[in-house]
């Protein structure tokens, strides 16, 4: 691994921490959008945008949704936008599979909280990177993840490989993660690792912590394997291209 530095410890209470890194050339092969396409790149961590109580409420939304399915391997996802839900070795469409029963699982308040949290994260990213919040579009996939130490059964369960979001999902320009559980209390392993040439920079999850970054190769990253317990998070990503925009999820 070489040298590892901790960018954010679980016990830190960070108002704003930002580390600028030079932008990669990944954005050059995509159409540029003035006032949005990254000109300043880097990564930030804040514990001041979402409260721990809100994170717990959001985790309960994830738990209720994921209780309907779950992967046979260690990584399960729930996407409220598309309805994608891990089930065994496959995915099902939550809305088609469960139909009207969805109203018994989620409430309008759940979706309102989800929307409110998404907007606050979007505004913080815009502020830090000096872009216009209205020039950013929520993009897919945006999803809850639940990870535990069960061995992988399919390639979808192998979440620990290093990757670049802009390469994996061409639409991503800004990626954010809202953590819904605490490193070393709710789970072991599972730290988020930025892989820089000179050293690794890790973020230790804590409920309510938002980690956000530009999605190009300047932020190559991976997640450590979860060794025990259960790690919950939600990935919320933004594109500068309106054609890749999606709406907030709606109940029914």
Give the active site residues.
Answer: 231
Question: Within 10 Å of residue 225's Cβ, how many Cβ atoms?
Answer: 16
68 phi and psi angles, rounded to 5 deg: -80, -15
The answer to whether the CB of 126 falls within 8 A of the CB of 40 is no
Q: Read off the DSSP letter of residue 156.
A: G
Longest CA span, the chain: 52
Residues 6+ apart with CB under 8 A from 87: 69, 70, 71, 97
Alpha carbon distance 146, 87 (integer Å)? 13
**Residue whose tokens read 């800004």:** 174
The H-assigned helical ranges of the chain are 52-66, 94-98, 102-105, 108-129, 165-168
Quote the tokens at residue 44: 């930030």
CA distances to 8, 86, 156 from 184, in Å: 14, 26, 25
Alpha carbon distance 239, 237 (integer Å)? 7
Alpha carbon distance 95, 250 (integer Å)? 11
Quote the tokens at residue 27: 């954005």
């Amino acid at each position: 691994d070489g040298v590892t530095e901790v960018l954010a410890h679980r016990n830190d209470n960070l108002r704003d921490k930002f580390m600028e890194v030079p932008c990669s050339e990944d954005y050059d092969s995509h159409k540029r959008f003035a006032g949005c396409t990254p000109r300043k790149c880097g990564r930030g961590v804040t514990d001041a945008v979402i409260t721990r109580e809100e994170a717990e409420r959001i985790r309960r939304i994830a738990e209720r949704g994921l209780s309907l399915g779950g992967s046979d391997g260690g990584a399960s996802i729930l996407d409220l936008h598309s309805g994608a839900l891990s089930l065994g070795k496959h995915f099902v469409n939550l809305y088609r599979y469960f139909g009207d029963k969805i109203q018994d699982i989620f409430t309008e308040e759940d979706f309102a909280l989800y929307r409110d949290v998404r907007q606050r994260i979007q505004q913080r990213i815009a502020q830090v990177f000096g872009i216009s919040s209205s020039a950013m579009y929520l993009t897919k996939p945006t999803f809850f993840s639940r990870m535990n130490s069960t061995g992988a059964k399919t390639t979808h369960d192998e979440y620990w490989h290093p990757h670049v979001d802009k390469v994996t999902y061409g639409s991503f320009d800004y990626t954010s993660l809202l953590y819904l559980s605490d490193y070393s209390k709710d789970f072991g392993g599972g730290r988020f690792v930025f892989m820089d040439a000179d050293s690794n920079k890790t973020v230790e999850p804590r409920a309510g912590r938002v980690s956000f970054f530009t999605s190009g190769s300047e932020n190559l990253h991976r997640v450590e394997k979860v060794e025990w317990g259960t790690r919950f998070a939600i990935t919320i990503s933004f594109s500068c291209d309106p054609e890749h925009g999606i709406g907030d999820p709606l109940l029914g």
